[in-house]
Amino acid sequence: MGKTGRKIKVYSAEFKISVIMDMRENYLSHRETVRKYWNTQNRTEEDKYLCTLKNWKRIYIEEGAEGLMKERRGRGSANGKKRGGPPKLDKKVEEDLKAENQRLRMEIEYLKKLSTLVHAEEQKSGKKRK
């Protein structure tokens, strides 16, 4: 739930790109860019826009201009894909991974026991392993 009385401002992709490009071309700092494009009343309001601008810049660097065109608010798409969760695997692949995991655990246990037996044998005979 959003805070009551707070309006959510939606910016166009063109505006976001123009702000980022202006900042980069004119070597403006984040704070200078905020003062140029937003009429802020106090430091708290300015910090809010700074955070927004830094997010836009990060998205632009990571994904390019196309990244700024994506809608990122909300719960995600309605096509059944979860956001942030692990992707669903095919049943056969999942079974194969479980079997491999079990084999590897058994191998680890076997090697632990072997190592213990070898160590005990060395202790018994008074030799050291090289």
Q: Three-state SS string across the chain, please?
A: CCCCCCCCCCCCHHHHHHHHHHHHHCCCCHHHHHHHHCCCCCHHHHHHHHHHHHHHHHHHHHHCHHHHHCCCCCCCCCCCCCCCCCCCCCHHHHHHHHHHHHHHHHHHHHHHHHHHHHHHHHHHHCCCCC
Report the chain's mean pLDDT, rounded to a whole number. Answer: 84
10 or 116, greater pLDDT? 116
53-72 confidence digits (pLDDT tens): 999 999 999 888 888 888 77
pLDDT for the residue 38: 87
Average pLDDT over residues 114-126: 91
Reported pTM: 0.52
Confidence of residue 88 (pLDDT cuts 50, 70, 90): confident
Is the predicted pLDDT of residue 35 greater than 70, yes or no?
A: yes
Average pLDDT over residues 40-63: 88
